[in-house]
Structure 1
Amino acid sequence: MFALLYPGQGAQSPGFLHRLPPHAAVAATLDEASNVLALDVGQLDTAEALRSSIAVQIALVVAGVAVQRRLAAAGIEAHAHAGLSVGAYAAAVGSGALSFADALRMVRMRAELMERAYPSGYGLSAIEGLTEAQVEALIEPLANSPNTQVYIANVNAPRQIVVAGSVTALDAFNERATTAGAHRAKRLMVTVPSHCELLREASDALAAYAAGVAFRSPASVYIGNRRARALYRPADIRDDLATNMRYTVRWFDALTALVERGATLLVEAPPGQVLTDIAREAYPEITALAAASFEGDRWVAVVERRLTGRHTPPT
């Protein structure tokens, strides 16, 4: 089974949309996004633009859908789709559960709600080397103090936990985690406290908007963020997307669900390879590739060769 993985906020880097494969399907995807949103999507990946969660989240979804369509143009369709955080929107489009236009509109509203709720002073930190239980134990004594409280936002791997909170609280927690034995405790390139109760009101507002958005049963497997299992009903996928900003992302469980369903090839959409590295470490018997690590379109031929055993030049 072949699965596409779509990264979330924090994976972005300046110019990443301009490093997408030079193909008509990719160009058409960028043009469609620009028309839907009435802006030049090609300007969203500048260093200045990427300071905004709105630009970052839209650009990540565009990149994910562009890569999925590039594969489709080569006659390659993924059997399953899973995205981390905002990457779940690209996964929903790839699985056929949501139109690209509706995904773009939802993502723009999602990011606007998040930025409006916390325009500055908040973010995420990655804690490596501690388990979820160890991080929870460090968080518990801080729970009654709003100035120091943090929340578990992502469980990306057994010993890679992301926490959310204010900048002050995160800086203090990073020191606390390092003292407790973390190999690394570092702030991420995210300016909002994603995936925690601080975004409850923003999540409720997005859910109200999503009630009017058309969802369909997916044509291929869609793995949800919140419960890390395959979702089939349109209402369940709508709820997963609309509320994932409020709840912990159980990415490692989602990855495990893909492997347990028989995934043997995982391909990560640009711009990074964090999800690829996690998969390689946890499941070395599975082939995991990051499209961004290949020059131009070479990764498409590699995927086809892995799936068919034959070498076909890129088209």
Structure 2
Amino acid sequence: MKAYIFPGQGAQFSGMGVDLYEKFSEAQELFEKANKILGFSITDIMFEGTSEELKQTKVTQPAIFLHSTILAKILGDNFKPEMVAGHSLGEFSALVANGVLTFEDGLKLVSQRALAMQKACEIQESTMAAVLGLDDTVVEETCASIDGIVVAANYNCPGQLVISGEISAIDKACELLMEKGARRALKLPVGGAFHSPLMEPAREELAEAIKNTTFSEPICPVYQNVVAKAVTNPEDIKQNLMKQLTSPVRWTQSIQQMIADGGTEFIEVGPGKVLQGLMRKIDRSVTASGASV
């Protein structure tokens, strides 16, 4: 079975999407529509902006979403997903690509998500750290033993887990995890504790917007971050999406479930090759490539 996977924050690069804009009139129309919806020229920043400008939360998330969803639309008849999944932000791209959300509604939700997350980051200083070379259970137990908020946030691949929380709790966790044999426990250059309880203000704000958005029947199952299994009921998809910001991204488990359910060919749709790299660490028996037009 053919599976399409959609990247999340961190996949952005200067010049992203300019080739699609220049080659395809449909892409041009969608990019211009996005500029109107967002109320600023995101295409200027995507095509010519610096990496610093692209790193602004209000830009990064819509930019990656636009690259992914527009690329999927341009693939046209070649885009025949039998299953989809997206890493964190990428789940919104996956839902547009499999017909649950319209392009316009998806973009509005992603924009609201970015701004809500930014506000939550400003309420309390917090961060994330990548932990390499330890079993998930060791990381989970260590986090649970620490005073303060620190939780497993991104299960990216075996031996690579990102933790999220208060700065002091993250510092303590990194120290303990290195003592327990982690190859690395390294703080990430992010401005907040994504996928942790500290995102509750953002979750509440986004949940309200999600409630007021129409979710349609999907073309194919979406393997959602929160449950790491196939979901087809629009109401269930909606509920899981509402929980996403304060729940871990179970990416390893999602991919393993997709393979168990018959996924053999995985195609990354969007900027970069991050997910293809993770695929090789999760299971080398399946093929992983990038979408091309």
TM-score, normalised to structure 1, is 0.84
Shift of 1:288: 0.3
The CA distance in 2 between the partners of 1:64 and 1:20, in whole Å, is 11
- Give unpaired runs (5+ residues) of structure 2: none
- The answer to whether the 8 A contact 2:221-2:231 is kept is yes
Question: For 1:84-110, what per-residue CA distance to the aligned partner results, in whole angstroms no more than 9, with x for missing partners?
Answer: 111000000001000111111111111
Partner residue of 1:204?
204
Aligned residues: 288
The CA distance in 1 between the partners of 2:98 and 2:238, in whole Å, is 13
**Partner amino acid, structure 2, of 1:70:** I
Partner residue of 1:134?
138
Partner residue of 2:93?
90
The CA distance in 2 between the partners of 1:92 and 1:260, in whole Å, is 21
Partner residue of 1:30?
31
Partner residue of 2:155?
155
Equivalent pairs: percent with the same residue? 29
- The answer to whether the 8 A contact 2:21-2:28 is kept is no
Shift of 1:212: 1.0
- The answer to whether the 8 A contact 2:99-2:218 is kept is yes
- Return closer, same or farther for 1:278/1:21 CA change in 2, 3 Å cut-off: farther
Partner residue of 2:61?
57
Shift of 1:249: 1.1
- Return closer, same or farther for 1:48/1:19 CA change in 2, 3 Å cut-off: farther
- Give unpaired runs (5+ residues) of structure 1: 292-298, 301-315
Runs of 4+ in 1 over 6 A off after TM superposition: none
- Between 1:15-24 and 1:39-48, the stretch displaced more is 15-24
- Between 1:86-95 and 1:231-240, the stretch displaced more is 231-240
Partner residue of 2:289?
289
TM-score, normalised to structure 2, is 0.90
Partner residue of 1:39?
40
- Return closer, same or farther for 1:81/1:21 CA change in 2, 3 Å cut-off: farther
- Return closer, same or farther for 1:191/1:44 CA change in 2, 3 Å cut-off: farther
Is the aligned partner of 1:102 residue 2:105?
yes
- Return closer, same or farther for 1:76/1:290 CA change in 2, 3 Å cut-off: closer
- Between 1:187-196 and 1:212-221, the stretch displaced more is 187-196
- Between 1:244-253 and 1:20-29, the stretch displaced more is 20-29
The CA distance in 2 between the partners of 1:42 and 1:269, in whole Å, is 19
Alignment of 1:232-311 (within 5 A): 232-291=232-291, 299-300=292-293
**Partner amino acid, structure 2, of 1:187:** K
**Partner amino acid, structure 1, of 2:153:** A
- The answer to whether the 8 A contact 2:256-2:282 is kept is no
The CA distance in 2 between the partners of 1:249 and 1:179, in whole Å, is 26
Shift of 1:23: 3.2
- Between 1:108-117 and 1:21-30, the stretch displaced more is 21-30
- Return closer, same or farther for 1:286/1:231 CA change in 2, 3 Å cut-off: same
Question: For 1:242-285, what per-residue CA distance to the aligned partner results, in whole angstroms no more than 9, with x for missing partners?
Answer: 22011111111111121122111111123222211221222212
The CA distance in 1 between the partners of 2:220 and 2:71, in whole Å, is 16
The CA distance in 2 between the partners of 1:29 and 1:189, in whole Å, is 31
**Partner amino acid, structure 1, of 2:41:** D
- Return closer, same or farther for 1:216/1:262 CA change in 2, 3 Å cut-off: same
**Partner amino acid, structure 2, of 1:75:** N
The CA distance in 1 between the partners of 2:10 and 2:191, in whole Å, is 10
Partner residue of 1:180?
180
- Between 1:119-128 and 1:207-216, the stretch displaced more is 119-128
**Partner amino acid, structure 2, of 1:255:** I
- Between 1:214-223 and 1:187-196, the stretch displaced more is 187-196
The CA distance in 1 between the partners of 2:15 and 2:101, in whole Å, is 27
The CA distance in 2 between the partners of 1:14 and 1:127, in whole Å, is 28
Where 1:155 maps in the other structure, the secondary structure is strand
**Partner amino acid, structure 2, of 1:69:** K
The CA distance in 1 between the partners of 2:176 and 2:17, in whole Å, is 37
**RMSD of aligned residue pairs (Cα, Å):** 2.0
Shift of 1:162: 0.8
- The answer to whether the 8 A contact 1:20-1:270 is kept is no
Shift of 1:71: 1.5
Partner residue of 1:191?
191
